[in-house]
Structure 1
Amino acid sequence: MIPIIKKYDLNFFKLYLSFLKKVKGHGLSKIPLIIKLNSFLFKSIKTKEVEFFNCRVLLDKYDKYHLSSQDYEIPPEVKNSVHPGQTIVDVGASIGIYTIFFAKMVGEKGKVYAFEPEPNNFELLKKNITINGFKNVILENKAVSDISGTVKMEVADNIANHRITKNFSGPTFDIESVSIDDYFKDKVPKIDLLKIDAEGYDGYVISGGIKTITKNSSMKILMEFHTKFMKEAGLEPLNLFKILSNLKLKITDLKNNKCVDELYIKKLDKLDYYSTNFFCERS
């Protein structure tokens, strides 16, 4: 992710971020001078637009993804799985970072279905698709769940954290939801990759797409796994594992490249907070 700002500003900021990573855990982040320096740099380095895979990406007002100050990495497992002519489904597209990558990679003969429920994110998503001239993206201002209907979504301070949950602690809004099975019932003969970023609701998305996933035997899945958000959404990690296992999917934790089995999930279940991405494919 390359910000459209002066190159020396970006290089200095990257060096500073590298320094912070090396000294992480030494308590420097609690020093008042460091706190002020961090605040100043993060505010001053922000821009309205970045370049990503030779495409333009308009940022949200506060750049909550920090795209103007750091690179956004697409996992190699995903890069190696996306090819021209494929059909990709992007659930929780937000402002379109993954959507843009998918649209670029599948080309004119491919297709991307991008779902984003939050209205402000969706408007920015539309702009990002339009300014890059993509004609292979179908945008849906909808949530994806295990059933079709209306759901309540909680609005978070960070645009990346809007979510459907069981216990609301902030303002909410009603949004139309659809299940993968209902939406794609008569639409697409084959789906190659399903990406899910639903802030803990990911298991419900899977549950609403059992028929579609079963029918698409070569489909791969990239999904967020967040113990805290998942439990707040009313889903236990072990139950999610059982759903994925019943679909005959091999699961890899991309944070540490570990093969996920029942024992591994039980270990994660004991952690109050653990966030990663799972990559699932049939072996």
Structure 2
Amino acid sequence: MIMIGLMKRLRDRPDFRAHPLGALGRRLWWRIRWRTGRRPWILPWHDGLRLKLDRGGPSALIYYQGFSEPDTAALVRAYLKPGMVFVDVGAHIGEYALLAARRVGTTGEVHAFEPNPVVFEVLVENVRLNGLDQIVARPWAVSSAEGDVDFDLDPEAALSALAWRAASADRARHVQRVPAVTLDGYLAGRRADLIKIDVEGAELLVVRGSGSLLARPAAEAPVLIFECALHNYARFGYSPVDLFRLLSDHGYEVWRFDRSRGLLPQTAEFPAGVTLNLVAAKDPAHLALLAATR
């Protein structure tokens, strides 16, 4: 049964569908590599970049298929142009911050937020490794209000998030106080073209702290890329309907991106257990650029 479940999951991966044997070989080597050594693993990567990998799930996906989320990578690489400003909320090891920095060039800016202290060290090392001075890395959370917040450090670093409940005695040792900012405060009077939000369920808090930013005229308002997962949202006491309504109040429309079919309209109703990476935009010109992405 375990093998059947594994094969079903693999079947959905683009690298496995394209080259099954190669995909299996990469997964086997990944496990052997980390069981036989703990030295940093620096991967020659896209756009002449180098990427230091940790042992987490997103790093494994990068090694297996090139990117942890290929659709998100396609959007970032296609949408950003020299001089633009990219904001990465939940930057992890810097995968998308590095891609963005290549696109916006030395005249643009990248602001990367990652409050997990262990992962933040890898992010900073990846910025240094590639000499990308246009990236500003911040060890802060982003939320609906400024101040110190509880941050839950999960053993799987990519699942770390703002604490969504009072910590039990067992979990308390995994909770750390970190500073939090709002995007409204951080970006006051500054430009933002594209914002990626991947914060394991706290997406609504980030958007609530971005009201002034999202209320900008359509041509100046940023495009958002955000993760939508029912189980993560439920932990924070809301549903996709709440987030979609807030975005709609600011004039945004929500779309799902598929590299083979482009932008597809997305409602707030979809099956439980599904995680989607969605796009929100309010300017038709921005949507036209996104729709042309392949």
- Secondary structure of the 2:162 match is coil
SS in 2 for 1:65: helix
1:252-271 pair list within 5 angstroms: 252-254=255-257, 257-260=263-266, 264-265=267-268, 267-268=269-270, 271=271
CA distance, structure 2, for counterparts of residue 89 and residue 38 of structure 1: 31
Give the partner amino acid of 1:111.
E
Whole-Å separation in 2 of the counterparts to 1:281 and 1:121 = 30
SS in structure 1 at match of 2:161: coil
Relative to total residues, which structure has the larger helix share, 1 or 2? Answer: 2
**Partner letter of residue 215 of structure 2?**
T
Q: Which residue of 1 aligns with 2:42?
A: 49
1:83-94 alignment, distance < 5 Å: 83-94=81-92
Q: Give the TM-score normalised by the residue count of structure 2.
A: 0.77
Q: Is the 8 Å Cα contact of residues 65 and 160 (structure 1) preserved in structure 2?
A: no
- Secondary structure of the residue that 1:146 maps to in structure 2? coil
Where in structure 1 are there 5+ consecutive unaligned residues?
A: 1-13, 23-33
Structure 2 gaps of 5+ residues are 1-14, 35-39, 285-294
Q: Name the Cα RMSD after superposition.
A: 2.7
Distance (whole Å) between structure 2 residues aligned to residue 229 and residue 63 of structure 1: 17
SS in 2 for 1:182: helix
The Cα shift of 1:147 comes to 0.4
C-alpha change, 1:21 and 1:55, in structure 2 (3 Å) is: closer
Structure 1 range deviating more: 211-220 or 78-87: 211-220
TM-score (norm 1): 0.79
Report deviation, 1:172: 1.2
8 Å contact from structure 1 (residues 192, 216) kept in 2: no
1:39–1:146 CA distance, 2 compared to 1 (3 A): same
Count of matched residue positions in the alignment of Structure 1 and Structure 2: 249
Contact 1:222/1:278 (<8 A) preserved: yes
Residue 152 of structure 1 aligns with which residue?
Answer: 150
| Greater displacement, 105-114 / 41-50 | 41-50
Q: 1:136 to 1:71 in 2, by over 3 A?
A: same
Q: What's 1:126 paired with?
A: 124
State how far apart, in whole Å, the 2-side matches of 1:38 and 1:59 are: 14
| 2:65 corresponds to | 70
Q: Secondary structure at the match of 1:69?
A: helix
CA distance in structure 2 between the aligned counterparts of 1:19 and 1:180, rounded to whole angstroms: 42
Note if contact 1:254-1:276 (Cα within 8 Å) is conserved in structure 2: no
